[in-house]
Amino acid sequence: MTKINPNSRTNSSSNPTGGAFLLGDTHKVYTPEDLSAEDRLAGETASRFLRERVMPATEEIEQGSHTLMHALMREAGELGLLAADIPVEYGGLGLSQPASALIAERINPQQSFALTHEAHTVIATLPLLYFGSDSQKSKYLPGLASGECIGSFALSEAGSGSDALAMQTRADYRDNGLYVLNGEKMWITNTAFADLFTVFARTGKGVTAFLVERNFKGVSFGREECKLGMHGTSTRRVILENAEVPAECALEEGRGHYAAFCALNIGRFRLEAGATGGLKYLLEQCAQYAVQRKTFGKPIGEYGLIRQKLAEMAARTFALESMVYRIAGELEQLFSQVSPRSGEASAMYHRAAEELAIECNIVKVFGSEAYSTYADEAIQIHGGYGYTEELPFARAWRDQRLLRIGEGANEIVRVAIVNLILRRIAAGRLALPDKGGIEAGPEQDTASLLRRLVLEMLREAQASAGEGLLQCQEACACISDVLIAAYAQQSAQLRVHKMSEGNRRKRAALLAEVQAQSSIETALHCARRLAAILARDTDQLRDLRAVFHPYTEALAEYCGSPLEKTHAAAVLCMEMGSYPLT
């Protein structure tokens, strides 16, 4: 197996702005076609490791062999698969953000291993990288990069999951140079074999992150949780009973909430990079089965409802892939400017990880829900066989279900998207355009209409609900869903426009058109629902519908020939036996 080599990166003087896509700011969009040779080498190394070492061990992994999982993580470390995000200065490979996304994509089909990998490389490692001192990084990052040290992220508690800052764990400083930690962390991944835990606790200055070694006095662990899925991961409670942690193991006091939120931003994005790989794997299995399986004398792939499932699975995969690598390219522009050993490193890491929080939340909801829908549809396509444990779909269905809960429940994330936009408008970081009428003409493509509709929805919701908007979660969800559809559609269309003429572009354009049908249906439903939620009487309901009508009417005109497009996309998948852009 080839060990990954460091990837060269270039700086950009033009920084991405989170949320700027709402304003139509779409320059310099990164796509999967832009992956460099070094990035692709990283992906191929991950694919080969999954194919040769991880997938053959799936039965043992699913039986909960943590000894095997630990050994696989050590092997991954030897190949450089744990070192992508860690700078060369601290023993890592310093690969690009697209390369890291590609690694996550390629290892996803064995989701227990993928989650173990993500918990170590992202949420356990990045708080230290972003907010640790030079001495802390020098001590721990080389081992985390090589796999000699396995990391774990300990934030959630029994009474504080998505509401992480409601934590009860406390850390009290003693004059002997120790912090004493008391509390209990729940749902902690990698607990059976982790060597280093990033633990969050309250101090006199707020939330602080601590680097807690496994053998520190007062640290113990609960039993393995009995979970619906992710059977190969270790998930236990971390129990802190007068746990003694040296003061030098504390990250900057009072800034732990920043460390947690920045790591979770990247974690949400990286999980959905993985979902891209999972969807491709499901689509490949379904497309091939649709040709092989016959009922009533012909392959099931000749039936319209099966074709609809295949086409929509391919379209969502295309949109998600386009979103993931667009975000990866923008993250790379930001992170490539950080000098890891400079005095400004923590501030620059913080800005880079926080800037695209809106987009990371968007892709989290879109990717996790697409994966959920089409893991279920994969079972349906395979019928009785899909319901058995002999095929991989039952495991995929169980495992992916966590993604709508983990690293922020989707209900909370939908509200957070609106909250982030409102806060950035208030802070002057986003300047939304003045209200204006819709312009007629062919230049009004689906993405721009969706974007302008969501701006109108946001304005009307603010006008009706005022400061109470965030308390009306149903309204926030309507706004978020159209915003997510707008970003997905815009990402898909921009990718098509960037492609060179040829068969690949034709296939991509077809998938973007199929995705447009879903985006439009979402927008029409949410606009009607938001009007009903905000209206106090029938007059206001009529007025709100009139505001949204020019956009919904224009969007409805793009719904032509859905059957022709979906059938063509499905046939393409079956002919190729895979995702059409593999």
Burial of 547 (0-12, 13-18, 19+ CB in 10 A): middle
Give the Cα separation of 570 and 310 in Å (integer). Answer: 5
Token reading at 488: 């997905």
Q: Using CA of residue 534, residue 537, residue 540, residue 546, what is the dihedral sign? A: positive
* Residue recorded with tokens 């059409």: 580
* Cα angle, residue 169 at apex, residues 217 and 203 outer, rounded to 5°: 95
CA distance 56 to 230: 17
Instruction: Tell me if 243 sits within 8 A of 212, measured CB to CB.
Output: yes
Find how far residue 304's CA is from the centre of its chain. 32
> Do strands 151-154 and 196-203 pair parallel, antiparallel, or not at all (unpaired)?
parallel
- Is 405:466 a contact under the CB 8 Å cutoff? no
Q: What is the identity of the amino acid at 424? A: R
Q: The tokens of 555 are what?
A: 């969007």
C-alpha 373/C-alpha 401 separation (Å) is: 10
Residue 407 annotated in active site: yes
To which H or E segment does residue 484 belong?
A: helix 473-498
What is the token pair recorded at 375?
């893991």
Q: Which of 302, 332, 359, 407 is catalytic?
A: 407
Calculate Rg over the CA atoms of the chain.
24
Tokens of 222: 């609960």
Contact 98, 35 (CB under 8 A): yes
376: which 2 tokens?
């279920």
- For residue 16, give the amino acid letter: P
**Catalytic machinery residues:** 407
